[in-house]
Amino acid sequence: MGVFELSLLLIVVMLGALALGLWVAFSLSLVALAALATKPALPAAQVLATSFWSSSTSWDLTALPMFIWMGEILFRSRLSEDMFAGIAPFVRRLPGRLAHVNVLGCAVFAAVSGSSAATTATIGKISLPELKKRGYDDRLAIGSLAGSGTLGLLIPPSIILIVYGAAVEESIARLFVAGVVPGLMLAALFMGYIIVWALMNPSRMPPMEPRTPWMEKLRAARRLLPVMLLIAGVIGSIYGGVASPTEAAVIGVALSLVLARLQGALSWQTYRDGLLSATATSCMIAFILAGAAVLTTAMGFTGLPRELAAWIGGLGLSPMQLLLALTILFIGLGCFLDGISMVVLTTAVIMPLVAAAGFDLVWFGIYLVIVVEMAQITPPVGFNLFVIQGLTGRNLFAIAAATAPFFLLLMTMVVLLALFPDIALWLPRTMFAAG
């Protein structure tokens, strides 16, 4: 069977499995078995069992359930109320005013969560009612929340960067460091858009609030101290070389439990709910990764990635043309798959192409996460859109329309990253060279 016939067969099997409603992990395994069936001499059952086991014993993935649990603990705490109260006094006189709380709140929570959906839900449950009560434009409030919630995927600790690092065997600490500057730049782009929008639409903004005295600002800022200490404990321990990402995740869980207890938000029920939710999410991700490992092994036996890489190499595409093609591919996949599924589904096929084009794997990981962020706000399967629909009851496509400007800003960030790779590479190169 030729490369095109095999590719078509596997695409049909994958689309058919997903259309039938099979879990992504089962769909990946089914595609792997279809690929192995084209090589009758291979022991399919043995390949399946070995790949499942090897993927589930990766040390790099140990940090995953801990960071997820940390986010679940904080989601059930009073963190969002404290963050809104702490940030609001500092942005009341800025064009766009309290709409900036969405961006800054998501950026801060992203530094302790690692999940886009958790970031959107935690900030949105307090910011959306407050903005609505004060008369802010609904489209601006919803769009800025959905767009800013994607920062949970990029600003470390990022769950999807852990998944990518494990899949391509790249340093997770280096990937975390690489996500800092692009994450801050994205937050700045979002705030810049809000400022421009507010200046162009003054009639759609609520009246200017009275100036806040500095002493009141300082008192409000004290409510940010717990989350800042948490960020310092988790991220600082990684960047300072004191702890590995896995050890930092354990530190984060311990500090989150202490924080929730001090806030009076930790009860046996919230502890149990957070642990069960984190377990379910971790098992789902681990199961998807196991299915992807089987598919990766099967692809290696069939030689399909190598042949596709040779075929695309024969087209004479420049690295930028290849990047454009991959961006279009990922945006298309984002209409139907969640971010983690996109990463694990495509890694086996695209990484040989990426390596052949000479892209740095750390840089490509940041590029990939930003494109996946775009998928988070792309209907019909945009997780952030579902979260906001649950918070507001609004139509999914109306939410997507409000988010469109932020989708374009994410696209702008992809272009900037492609033109200036050091946006992602300068900080890890500097820090690890110094270390």
**CA-based nearest residue to 212, from 303, 316, 88:** 88
The answer to whether the peptide bond before residue 380 is cis (omega within 30 degrees of 0) is yes
| Cβ atoms of residues 159 and 285 within 8 Å | yes
Q: What is the pLDDT of residue 328?
A: 83
3 state DSSP class of 277: helix
Sign of torsion, CA 190 196 202 208? positive
**CA-based nearest residue to 386, from 190, 120, 69:** 120
**CA-based nearest residue to 386, from 151, 159, 145:** 145
Q: Is 181 exposed, middle or buried (0-12, 13-18, 19+ CB in 10 A)?
A: middle
Quickly state the pLDDT bin for 256 (edges 50, 70, 90): confident
- Summary mean pLDDT of the chain: 82
Q: Is 434 exposed, middle or buried (0-12, 13-18, 19+ CB in 10 A)?
A: exposed
- Residue 356 corresponds to which amino acid? A
Least confident of 150-164, 262-276, 309-323, 395-409: 309-323
Six-digit token string for 146: 């959905």
3 state DSSP class of 141: helix
Q: Tell me: pLDDT of 398 over 60.
A: yes
**CA-based nearest residue to 343, from 318, 325, 370, 319:** 370
Question: pLDDT per residue over 57-103, tens digit each?
Answer: 666 667 778 877 887 887 777 777 787 888 888 887 788 888 899 99
**Could you give phi then psi for residue 137, rounded to 5 degrees?**
-60, 130
Least confident of 227-236, 270-279, 283-292, 417-426: 283-292
Q: Tell me: pLDDT of 289 over 80.
A: no
Percentage above 70 pLDDT, the chain: 89
